Amino acid sequence: MSDFRFGMVGHGMIAGRFAEAIRVVDGAEVVAVSGRNRARAEAFADAHGIPAAYGSAGEMLAAGGLDAVYVCTPHPAHADAAVACLEAGVGVLVEKPLAPTQAQVRQILAASAAGGAFVMEAMWTRFLPVYEIVRRWLDDGRIGQVTKLSASFGFRVPVDPTHRLFDPALAGGSLLDVGVYPLGLARWLFGAPPEQVAAVGVVGDTGVDEHVAISARYPTGGLAQLGCAVVAELDPVAVMTGTEGTIEIPDFWGAERATLRTTGEEIVEEVPHRGNGFEYQIEEVMDCVRSGVLESHRMPHAQSLEMAELCDRLRRDLQVSYPFE
């Protein structure tokens, strides 16, 4: 018998990953899903054994019985869905980015404060167990002073103006879809937002950023070279370079392995996911909601706002804007 009941707003590919992950989380289940297309919501519910499907978030919330909601709609719809849940007093896990602009992020955070309800950006990488090992290596000074991070995340899909990744009305482009992963890793590593940052990139015919290169300097003096793309395969290996060695993390956004290299030593640590990796952020949400807090100290509101401000700034560098701004 599950004692923590999730609802879902959205029923796409990422929603499926959430529904799969929750199967390995003790005491939790998805009891309802909603979407603008009721027939698709019902098909998703049937496919994943979810007992109820609704044609809107409002309808689902009115039915009650939810401890938290996972919002995984297209980016521009995050704010409306999250605010509806928070105003109903229901905690929310919102797929990254929390919202496509800092103005919308502020709207969500204000609703959390006003409604006294929890909200967290679903930066699932932050909660993967292998990063606990990496953090211990860093805190123990195993690689000395960290001087540089190199990390990129990119994949190639055919350019299609009707696809969400290439539609500015849906906040398409590489920066918000995958660029937040290397940017988020840099924030975690250096413990602060960058003091200097610049981006160059390729903006496609539809007006979205298709391939971006980012250079940043952090208050510690550390540098970052980061990349993201939706039109090119980029090697998803993160390398943290220090004065005494390196840490390498393959597939850093969903990591299960990390390698520490120092003079005369190499240590490889592997921590396979229990499920697909989403389970750890789900458990964080459950712990926070049960504790009655409004935010996770591991993925706090201030960092979500920082990320939104940073992405707004980088988009200005790239001269990318969205029609709903």
Residues with active-site annotation: 96
Q: What is the strand order of the sheet 4-9 is part of?
A: 52-54, 28-34, 4-9, 68-71, 91-95, 119-122
For residues 53-82, one letter each, b for 16 or more C-beta atoms within 10 angstroms of the residue's C-beta and e for the rest, the string is bbbbbeebbeeeebbbbbbbbbbbbbbbbb
- Return the amino acid letter for 181: Y
What is the C-alpha to C-alpha distance for residues 202 and 49, in angstroms, rounded to an integer? 42
- What residue has token string 């940043």? 216
What is the C-alpha to C-alpha distance for residues 314 and 312, in angstroms, rounded to an integer? 6
What is the C-alpha to C-alpha distance for residues 234 and 211, in angstroms, rounded to an integer? 10
What is the C-alpha to C-alpha distance for residues 265 and 239, in angstroms, rounded to an integer? 17
CB 186 within 8 A of CB 216: yes
Q: At what angle do helices 180-190 and 301-318 cross, to 10 degrees?
A: 130
Q: Any idea what DSSP says for residue 77?
A: G
- Residue of 30, 95, 25 whose CA lies nearest to 273: 25
In DSSP notation, 108-150 reads HHHHHHHHT--EEEE-GGGG-THHHHHHHHHHTTTT-SEEEEE
How many Cβ atoms sit within 10 Å of the Cβ of residue 279?
Answer: 23
Give Cα separations from 173 to 81, 163, 225 (angstroms).
22, 10, 19
Torsion angle (degrees, nearest 10) of CA 36, 30, 288, 281? -90
